[in-house]
């Protein structure tokens, strides 16, 4: 689910604890979420092995919670498959001069290319592993500009949704797990705000919180 035009208001930070039960996973992650195989996620862009493994770990988490096909009547995003909206998939194919296709027919290569744009657009590759995973999942769940807004809020900056020089300078000081966990805090606070403003979104509330608390546990075990 990818929300547009979201501007979270500054709210008091909460001290939240993960409900996730840990298991084993590489990159200092110990989570009971299956890691997508490196071979099945071979991307077409050149990347170091470290970045590849970090991307794989981030994508494994996101795909676990995005699931398969969804077309819930209360979901403003509409038809969605593996986290990709039908409208987003239409735009992706149009940019490549391809005819429209049902999102459920999306190929693995197309899915990876779309998700690669979220990875690049959120700037995740240059971030601390915990922050990279949180930024990627936030970009997918809320949109790239909104993930930057959450980052700016966590860094105590004006929330413009633009990865400008001020944001990059602040990120040099705040490129750490603490900033990642602050973003998760803000996501949880926003979930409550959203269902208060629109009761129809209660259909997704518990799933959202499960995703956010699990994300907290997923990245909290990464050492600074």
pLDDT score for 73 = 60
pTM score of the predicted model: 0.77
Look at residue 99 in the predicted model and tell me its pLDDT.
94
Of 175, 207, 222, the residue nearest 67 (C-alpha): 207
What pLDDT score was predicted for residue 200? 76
**What's the pLDDT at 224?**
59
pLDDT at 71: 55
pLDDT of residue 27: 37
d(CA 220, CA 223): 8
Low-confidence ranges of the chain (pLDDT < 50): 1-47
What CATH architecture is 39-66+108-220? Up-down Bundle (1.20)
Q: What is the DSSP string of 182-204?
A: HHHHHHHHHHHHHHHH-GGGHHH
The structural domains of the chain, with segments of one domain joined by +, span 39-66+108-220
């Amino acid at each position: 689910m990818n929300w547009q035009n979201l501007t979270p208001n500054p709210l008091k930070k909460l001290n939240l604890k993960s409900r996730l039960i840990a298991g084993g996973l590489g990159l200092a992650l110990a989570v009971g979420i299956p890691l997508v195989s490196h071979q099945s996620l071979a991307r077409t862009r050149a990347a170091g092995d470290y970045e590849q493994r970090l991307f794989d770990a981030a994508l494994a988490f996101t795909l676990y919670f995005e699931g398969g096909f969804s077309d819930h009547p209360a979901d403003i995003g509409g038809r969605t498959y593996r986290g990709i909206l039908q409208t987003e998939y239409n735009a992706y194919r149009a940019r490549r001069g391809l005819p429209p296709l049902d999102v459920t027919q999306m190929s693995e290569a197309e899915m990876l290319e779309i998700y690669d744009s979220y990875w690049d657009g959120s700037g995740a590759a240059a971030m601390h592993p915990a922050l990279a995973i949180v930024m990627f999942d936030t970009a997918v769940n809320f949109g790239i500009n909104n993930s930057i807004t959450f980052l700016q809020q966590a860094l105590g900056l004006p929330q413009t949704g633009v990865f400008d020089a001020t944001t990059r300078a602040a990120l040099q000081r705040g490129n750490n797990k603490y900033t990642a966990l602050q973003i998760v805090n803000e996501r949880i606070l926003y979930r409550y705000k959203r269902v208060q403003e629109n009761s129809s979104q209660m259909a997704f509330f518990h799933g959202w919180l499960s995703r956010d608390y699990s994300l907290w546990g997923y990245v909290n075990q990464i050492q600074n």
